[in-house]
């Protein structure tokens, strides 16, 4: 393997040589406006604390302890904490190379997954990696977004701030304090790990200064369901959680698993269990700054997850956003140098109180083509207006339609078959070619007035950019054989990771937003209604969040269909659907001139349709 060793403070810059820690060594020191690597990883303190979570979900009569592995600089000064909480540290691993935690024969942590420890510990940060309750070395139960998960984060933050008791062992009585901690915590994580960051932030806990949720969930209902219809990935949180339980949880947490199964009915109803796992409803409590990252082609954790949380957080909370063309990919693997440099400054600002002004810089950076990024001061950008467009026989425009459109759901359509024209179980409407660029930035919704020939009907809607483009394909990256290094290596934990490059190709159509629904939930997500065949119903459902520019000459399209077999389960009886055009509208956040309508029939031979991958 070819190895290119690069250690950076900012992208492309050399670090200072670490110096041995002494009683006089400060907790951190600035060089060039950022924290410099003044501590040695060789003598970093590695330890574990077992924190009282306040819960006894496994029912053993003893309050569950959550395990946190710590690596921190050897200094007499107090240091802030970068924290990641995860269920993946033992079985699935973290990052593109699936790194897991390792321990020596005495149980002292050796390997800390990802580059955070290698890069940030020398710069005056502690890194704390928390095992979700019920996973790896923690007690308790896995409850997939519930109180166990939130307590896994809040308990450790409380301990770091002297508000909760920690112990030296999993079951002993000897206590342990965090006298080395400033109490300032930043939570980071991709996918499930980032979801707990959202959840903990929504409690408003003191001490949490910032979160960096990457491809993160904000509502677990919206990961398993979409406006009443189920995604086929997992029928219940029980199936997901059981993959990561430790032996104690497997033997003692049957009651928790039953509660999750009963609270997640297959018909897609929104229940009290889902409400308890909806962090958006408590987003008004968020005080921590937010640096969100999401891939526009992520069909695992869909972009609606970040969009709805972003919109619900108080306006006064400092926020930053990176919006890539990738699928479910960490920014370390699609924009590595810029990511490390930006994350470095972000943590310096919110955890070390370095006045570097990053919160005053452009709020959003969006990828317009592979490795081509554009910045905006605010997001959604100035001039974005929620615009109502209407499908009609003339195409997609501002004039209400008349009459009906009819199609039959065959239950096996995919985005590619629908857009190529080889599947007729949908209708498509488009604007005329654009005379100026048109930007879609935010979360759209569609209202469909429709009748079904059967008592069961599922619906799909897409927004489509028709026109040639160079885009990332598949997951959006390819892993190479070379490596680059980001921080200081030490025995058992090196700082080197395999490089990646963009995977790209030419397409003539892109799905830029999508949504799905069960018509039975037309009036309520919590209580489905009986569908009477031939009776017209009106249902409004959400499309995914996007930031996409349609260039001059392209067309904006709207597809309305039945079952998208790549995303949702099919109804028990496949229907013929009749759409009342006069009652059907789509509300899109647009910046630019509202396009005119076109009745042209559009098909695409090469389609960018997004990628589904595992949650991690």
Catalytic residues: 191, 298, 328
SS3 state of residue 489: coil
Non-local CB neighbours of 175 within 8 Å, separated by 6+ positions: 165, 166, 167, 168
- Annotate 495-543 with DSSP letters as a single string: -EEEEEEEEEEEEEEEEEEEEEEEGGGSS-SSS--PPPTT-EEEEEEEE
Please provide the DSSP assignment of 362-387 as one string.
-SEEEEEETTEEEEESSSSPTT-EEE
Residue with tokens 């290596």: 489
Q: For residues 367 and 356, give the distance between their C-alpha atoms in angstroms, rounded to a whole number.
A: 25
Specify whether the CB–CB gap between 132 and 533 falls below 8 A: no
**Do residues 229 and 569 lie in contact, with contact meaning Cβ atoms separated by under 8 Å?**
yes
Residue 585: is it exposed, middle or buried by C-beta count within 10 angstroms (0-12/13-18/19+)? buried
Kind of pairing, strands 79-86 and 181-190? parallel
Q: Is the dihedral of CA 337, 342, 343, 345 positive or negative?
A: positive
Rg of the chain's alpha carbons, rounded to an integer? 25
Tokens encoding 472: 């990332």
Provide the 3-class DSSP secondary structure of residue 157.
helix
Closest CA to 134 of 251, 246, 59: 246
Contact (Cβ atoms closer than 8 angstroms) between residue 313 and residue 283: yes
């Amino acid at each position: 393997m070819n190895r290119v060793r690069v250690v950076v403070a900012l992208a492309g810059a050399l670090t200072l040589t670490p110096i041995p820690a002494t009683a006089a060594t400060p907790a951190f020191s600035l060089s060039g406006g950022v924290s410099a690597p003044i501590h040695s990883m060789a003598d970093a303190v590695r330890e574990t604390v077992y924190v009282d979570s306040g819960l006894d979900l496994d029912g053993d009569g003893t309050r569950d302890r959550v395990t946190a592995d710590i690596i921190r600089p050897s200094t007499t000064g107090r240091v802030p904490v970068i924290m990641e909480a995860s269920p993946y540290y033992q079985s699935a691993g973290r990052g593109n190379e699936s790194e897991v935690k390792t321990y020596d024969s005495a149980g002292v942590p050796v390997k800390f997954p990802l580059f955070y420890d290698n890069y940030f510990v020398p710069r005056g940060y502690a890194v704390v990696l928390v095992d979700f309750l019920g996973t790896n070395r923690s007690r308790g139960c896995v409850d997939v977004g519930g109180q166990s998960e939130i307590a896994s984060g809040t308990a450790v933050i409380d301990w770091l701030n002297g508000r909760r008791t920690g112990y030296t062992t999993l079951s002993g009585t000897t206590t342990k304090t965090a006298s080395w901690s400033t109490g300032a915590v930043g939570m980071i994580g991709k996918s499930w790990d980032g979801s707990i960051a959202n959840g903990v932030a929504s409690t408003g806990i003191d001490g949490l200064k910032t979160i960096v949720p990457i491809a993160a969930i904000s509502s677990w209902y919206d990961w398993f369901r979409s406006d009443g219809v189920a995604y086929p990935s997992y029928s219940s949180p029980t199936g997901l959680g059981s993959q990561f339980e430790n032996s104690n949880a497997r033997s003692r947490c049957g009651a928790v698993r039953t509660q999750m199964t009963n609270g997640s009915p297959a018909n897609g109803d929104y229940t009290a269990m889902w409400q308890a796992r909806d962090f958006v409803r408590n987003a008004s409590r968020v005080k921590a700054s937010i640096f969100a990252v999401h891939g526009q082609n992520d069909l695992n954790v869909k972009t609606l997850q970040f969009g709805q949380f972003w919109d619900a957080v108080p306006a006064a909370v400092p926020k930053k956003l990176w919006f890539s063309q990738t699928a479910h990919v960490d920014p370390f693997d699609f924009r590595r140098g810029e990511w490390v440099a930006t994350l470095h400054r972000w943590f310096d600002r919110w955890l070390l109180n370095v006045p570097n002004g990053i919160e005053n810089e452009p709020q959003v950076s969006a990828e317009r083509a592979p490795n081509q990024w554009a910045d905006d001061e605010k997001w959604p950008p100035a001039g974005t207006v929620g615009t109502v467009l209407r499908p009609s026989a003339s195409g997609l425009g501002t004039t209400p339609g008349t009459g009906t459109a009819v199609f039959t759901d065959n239950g096996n359509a995919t985005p590619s078959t629908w857009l190529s024209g080889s599947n007729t179980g949908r209708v498509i409407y488009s604007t005329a070619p654009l005379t100026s660029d048109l930007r879609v930035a935010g979360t759209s919704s569609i209202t469909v007035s429709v009748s079904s020939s059967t008592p069961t009907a599922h619906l799909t809607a897409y927004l489509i950019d028709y026109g040639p483009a160079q885009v990332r394909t598949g997951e959006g990256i390819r892993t190479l054989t070379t490596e680059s290094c980001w921080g200081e290596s030490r025995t058992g934990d090196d700082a080197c990771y395999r490089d990646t490059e963009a995977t790209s190709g030419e397409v003539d159509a892109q799905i830029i937003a999508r949504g799905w629904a069960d018509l039975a939930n037309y009036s309520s997500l919590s209580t489905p209604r009986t569908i009477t065949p031939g009776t017209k119903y009106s249902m409004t459902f959400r499309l995914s969040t996007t930031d996409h520019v349609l260039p001059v000459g392209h067309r904006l399209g709207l597809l309305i269909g039945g079952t998208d077999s790549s995303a949702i389960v099919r109804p028990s009886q496949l229907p013929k659907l009749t759409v009342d055009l006069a009652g059907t509208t789509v509300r899109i956040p647009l910046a630019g001139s509202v396009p005119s309508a076109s009745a042209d029939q559009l098909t695409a031979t090469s389609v960018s349709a997004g990628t589904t991958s595992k949650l991690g």
